[in-house]
Structure 1
Amino acid sequence: METMTKKEPQIRVSRDNMQAYLYLPNPVMDAYTEREVREALEKSGVSYGIQEDALNNVLENQLYNREILIAQGDRPKDGVDGYYEYKFDVNFSKKPKLCPDGSVDYWSIKMVEIVTEGQEIAVYHKAVPGVDGMNLKGKPVLAKRGRDLVPLRGKGFERSEDGTSYISLMDGKIEKSSDRITILPVYEVSGDVDLSIGNIDFRGDVIVHGTVCSGVTVKATGTVTVDGVVEGAKIEAGKDIVLRSGVMGASRAVITTRGNISAKFFEYTRVHANGSIRADVFLNCQVSCGESILLDGKKASIVGGEVGAIQGIVVNTLGSDGEVRTHVRIGNDSSVRRRIGILRNKIEVEKANLEKIENGLKLLKDVKNDPRRTDLLRVKIRDTALLAEDTAELEKLEDQMERARGCTVRVIGCVYPGVSVEIDDLEVHVKEEQFSLEFIRQMDKIVMCAL
């Protein structure tokens, strides 16, 4: 006769020790007891999170040949780091939008975010602490701790006593960089800037809602934004310039900046930007640009004048059907290369002289009150300053050479006779009307490639 062996409860524990499942094979003899199930749990190391209701249900209803969740650990609840909720726009675009009809909307450019005195600029939400869990073996499972952020730094605002609210102390422009906020004054003119207003020289940003009339100078260490037309005026900025309605320069306007320029159009104007320039039209202008020039609107064109950029030019139409002389220039000319060679030789000489001075000072280090030592120290200070100045200029020019590598003139639409294109030391003249091409330097010549 075959021996009858009683089957035992089976326990399966999840890998993370957070869940246990009970499996009761169909019993050969008597039904399973609670004691047998608890002993099986104990053998499996389950000592926490046993679900009594599930255990009683399995035994009372004789739920065999299936897995039943019998124990559940407590999962940790991670904390939440503290964070700042900013009450001003921190991600506005400084580039114009391209309209469906191909035109460029310069009114879409936003250069500054303005706040008022007493305005709440930020709210701090404090960290939420985590809650530790417990696994089936009775061991704690640590939760991630919520961390508080350091208070915002900067100027032009104050923090509430509980550290949760930040309030502006003035009307002005607000800027955010990492965890630092700065509120600076803004010079704002509601109407025109003419001779009755006088010249403006402001440490900060300038906003003009009207026209900048002929004969006026507007200078700012920050940005300059003009809603109306700029006439024969001078505008100088330490940062970006936005001229929403363009410039009618009458050969007297001068626009210069260390940053970027965006404008509807330029007519008979001298323009310089260390950064990039974006516009719709250059008409008989003298333009120089440290980065790239982009004229990509539907009617964007360069007609007449001289337009130069280190890193390249993109334009829709170059020249005109009247064959007006139009010169565009990209890259670096021979004078830049010559200057780099001169600076390298000069720096070598300066370093050699400084080495000689150091050797002389070592010989005289034990001699007190020697006028020769005083003279050598004076020369060392002078030559060290010259070396630093020349090294900085060399690095700037070498960076300029590197940025110009591979630059091109890209004409999306038409290029007319009368146009000349200069790349570095090379120049080509357009003899006949052509469409959609790119001027590229290849070795010792400029080639025109179809787009």
Structure 2
Amino acid sequence: MNTNKENNREGKRKQEQSAADLDKMISEMEKRISEIEMEEMLSGYTAEELAEMGFIGDNSINIEHSKYLKNKFAEGYDFPEDINYLKYYPVKSVEQIESIDLSNITVIHPDTAVIKLTIAPNKVNYYNKEFNDEQYQKECNLNFKRENNKFIITPKVSGRLVLAGHRLYLIPSDRDGKCVIRISDDSMAVYVDLIQATGNGAKLTEEMILNELQLSGVKAGIKMEAIRDSLERIKTSKSEKNILVAQGMPAKDGRDAPVQFLFDPEPVVEEFRVLPDGRVDYRKQANIRMTKKGEILAVVGKAEPGIDGYNVLGKMIKAINGESNVLCAGQNVVVTDDGKFKAVCDGQISLNGKVLSVFLHYMVEGDVDYGCGNISFNGNVTIKGSVLPGFEVKAEGDIVVMKNVDRATLKAGRDIKINSGIIGSKDTVVTCGRNLSAQYLQNAIVEAQGDVTIGNSVMQSVIFSAGNVVVNGIKGMIVGGYVCALNGIDARIIGSQYGTKTTVEVGKDYLVQKKIIEIDKAIQFCEDNVKKIDTSMLSVYSSVKKGLAMGDDKMQKIRAVQQKRAELVKHREIMQWKKTELEKKAITNPFAAINIEDTIFADVVIKIASQVSTIKMKANHVKYHLDNKKEKIVGNRM
């Protein structure tokens, strides 16, 4: 009980002590504030005084500089008492100070004024160099005579003094009017600064300005009105700056011949359509541009010639005439004298750059099957149905399949467009000279010398592309197989959570890569057969070691086997050498990249140029590219 009372008393005592300490601190602060206010009044730093000086508040700080100085010494110069001067900032040329109003500066005359400059011994050489500067000597109008560490300075003419930095200038009181000419870097404009004459100097005239322009090489585009106006203005001003007195005329390029296409040169492709039952059909609808014999496809107008220009130096600027050859007639198209492009047959319109062609068109109303047979055509082929297993379609132009390609072979000189998908096999290849597009690939082998665009999925397929591979549909996934693209791969998903073996490669030319794969297979064939021969010969060699007699016929057979083995080894070595040479010649793209919009799963193998990397763990929204400095594949979040 006593302990509790003691604790209460101790707590109360501490509270009282804390309150006393706080009162003491507040008292000290009040005392300090009073001292500060007293110091403000004594020092002139009250709020009112600071505001009046402009140190606080809205008033500006006013600094009074005397423009005209009469002090005896400045920058080491000793001026006579009856001489004043204008102090100015350092300048590179006297032109910067010639137009200043010096009316309040005393005029000094030759032999009536002597100015002295005393300098430190270690600065003598510096000032000696400064005063002997060729431009300064020409502009300063002063004589300099050195006497040990002093310079005696006298005026050459009557005038007024300006001290610009540490350089002294005498601006003549009788000075002719001056015209300073500046020609633009492109020689298309001439600007002048006019400085009015002073005293008895010759006043500026139109003839003087024209003469200066002529001496500067200005021959064309002279604006006489601007010159006359500036001469009027300078009568009431000291100077006129940046007056445009001559201007060239830029060349006007001609207009290319206008082209009027009588077909849509960029047809719209429907990405999807809504079916009657409300479902969405994501199979793209091919928009094929067709024409009939004799139809006018385009009309080309006349090109406009250019108009030559000139610069102020009188040099002609050649204009570019409008291009007449803006459209060329390609296959099955003729041009009339009045610029009309006509089709000479029924077919499909093709606009490749500026070449307009009509390709003969072969239309299959249904499937490519036994009723139709294999197709080989020198134009475009459109198949409204599917290409059934085992059949071939070859076309020098485009191939369009409105439905599926099922374990069939397609070869197009240009594009292949599949509205649905391609189901392949190890014996069927789909190849094209430009771009290929489809909704899906399954167990397919595809080769394109342009881009490959797949809407939804690539499953256990092989793709070779000399451009880009893009899998960007709703699923947008590459699962299993091998995809090789020279420029890059874009997909939503690559690989699967089940570790499906998937390899993606960029930066290599597939035409070379394909041959390398074929050579690798041939090399492997040789190696496998050498091993088979070695295995089968072991028992034979064992028998020979045991002393088993061999007849001539048996020895002849053994030598034939040995000869075959040597042949296989030689073939393998040659192919390995040729593979190495082929790899050296391969086109590579070190900037190729693999872009993952959604997910890349573990165990996917990535190859970029000569580097290989296996994904260790799942990653999202990542871009893989080659770090040339570190010589390895790196991944960055997109």
Instruction: Confirm or deny a common fold (TM above 0.5).
Output: yes
**1:336 counterpart residue number:** 519
1:14–1:222: structure 2 CA closer, same or farther, 3 Å change rule? same
Q: Which residue of 1 aligns with 2:238?
A: 65
Q: For the structure 1 residues 398 and 29, does the alpha-carbon distance in structure 2 shift closer, same or farther, using more than 3 Å as the test?
A: closer
| 1:273 corresponds to which of 431, 442, 447 | 447
Distance 1:435 1:81, change over 3 A: same
**What's the CA shift for 1:40?**
4.3
**Which residue among 239, 242, 250 is the counterpart of 2:417?**
242
Distance 1:17 1:199 in 2: 69
Q: Relative to structure 1, is the Cα distance of residues 161 and 288 closer, same or farther in structure 2, using a 3 angstrom cutoff?
A: closer
Q: 2:194 aligns to what?
A: 23
Alignment of 1:257 with 2:434, yes or no, is no
Query: Taking structure 1 as reference, are residues 173 and 43 closer, same or farther at Cα in structure 2, changes over 3 Å only?
Result: closer
Partner of 1:41: 210
Amino acid at match of 2:192: Y
Q: Which amino acid aligns with 1:38?
A: E
* TM alignment of 1:145-294, pairs within 5 A: 145-147=319-321, 149=323, 151=325, 152=328, 154-161=330-337, 164-170=339-345, 171-177=347-353, 180-189=355-364, 199-212=374-387, 217-231=392-406, 234-247=409-422, 254-259=428-433, 260-267=435-442, 270-273=444-447, 275=449, 277-279=452-454, 280-282=456-458, 287=462, 289=464
Q: Does 1:143 align with 2:317?
A: yes
The CA deviation at 1:75 is 2.3
The aligned residue for residue 129 of structure 1 is 306
1:187-237 CA deviation, whole Å, 9 max, x = no partner? 345666566555433212223344445676433223212233445655443
Match of 1:308 in 2: 482
TM-aligned CA distance change 1:174 to 1:76, over 3 Å? same
On the 8 A contact 1:340/1:394 being kept in 2, the answer is: no
Deviations 1:173-198 (A, max 9, x none): 32425x64443223345666566555
> Equivalent residues in 2 for 1:421-440 (5 A)?
435-436=618-619
Q: Where do 1:340-359 residues align within 5 Å? A: none
1:118 pairs with 2:295: yes
The DSSP-based 3-state class of the residue aligned with 1:128 is coil
After superposition, give the CA deviation of every residue in 1:48-90 in whole Å (9 maximum; x if it has no partner). 6554544554556634323274732442434337466473777
Structure 2, unpaired ranges of 5+: 1-106, 110-157, 159-171, 273-279, 506-512, 527-574, 608-612, 626-632
Letter in 2 for 1:226: V
Asked if the contact 2:329/2:335 (under 8 Å) is kept, the reply is no
Q: Aligned partners of 2:463, 2:175: CA distance in 1, in Å?
A: 91
- Deviations 1:143-171 (CA, angstroms, capped at 9, x unpaired): 21324647436333333425x55444444
Please list the CA deviations of residues 374-413 of structure 1 after superposition, one character each: whole Å capped at 9, or x if unmatched: xxxxxxxxxxxxxxxx9xx869954797769999999864
Letter in 2 for 1:243: I
Contact 1:155 1:182 in 2 (8 A): yes
State the 1:142 CA deviation: 0.3
**Which residue of the partner structure matches residue 373 of structure 1?**
none
- If asked which structure has higher relative contact order (CA below 8 Å, sep 6+), I would say 1
> Aligned partners of 2:226, 2:614: CA distance in 1, in Å?
90
Gaps (5+ residues) in structure 1?
Answer: 98-102, 344-389, 441-446
Query: Equivalent residues in 2 for 1:385-400 (5 A)?
Result: 398=583
Structure 1 residues 189 and 23, CA gap change in structure 2 (3 angstroms): same
Three-state SS of the structure 2 residue aligned to 1:173 is: strand
Change (3 A) 1:119 1:106: farther
Q: Cα RMSD between the aligned structures?
A: 5.8
- Counterpart of 1:161, as a letter, is D
The whole-number CA distance in structure 2 between the counterparts of 1:159 and 1:181 is 11
What is the percent sequence identity of the aligned residues?
Answer: 17
For 2:377, give the aligned amino acid: F
Q: Which residue of 1 aligns with 2:284?
A: 107
- Measured at CA, do residues 318 and 43 of structure 1 come closer, stay the same or move farther in structure 2, by a change above 3 Å? closer
Aligned equivalent of 2:176: 8
Cα distance in 2 for partners of 1:42, 1:25 equals: 17
Would the alpha carbon gap of residues 80 and 409 (structure 1) be closer, same or farther in structure 2, given more than 3 Å must change? closer
For residues 104-144 of structure 1, the C-alpha deviation after alignment (integer angstroms, 9 at most, x for no partner) is 9662887x765665334363552523234363xxx532021
- SS of 1:281's partner is strand
Specify the code of the residue in structure 1 equivalent to 2:178. Q
Give the 3 Å change call, closer, same or farther, for CA 9–129 of structure 1 in structure 2.
same
Q: Which structure shows the higher helix fraction?
A: 2
Distance 1:272-1:24 versus aligned 2 partners, 3 A rule: closer
Is contact 2:381–2:397 with CA below 8 Å preserved after alignment? Answer: yes
- 1:80 corresponds, among 254, 262, 267, to 254
- Kindly provide the amino acid, as one letter, of the partner of residue 133 in structure 1: Y
Structure of larger gyration radius: 2
Q: SS of the residue aligned with 2:284?
A: helix
1:19 partner letter: V
Mapped to 1, the partners of 2:469 and 2:379 lie a distance apart of 26
How far off is 1:248 after superposition? 6.0
Q: Is the 8 A contact 2:495 2:501 kept in 1?
A: no
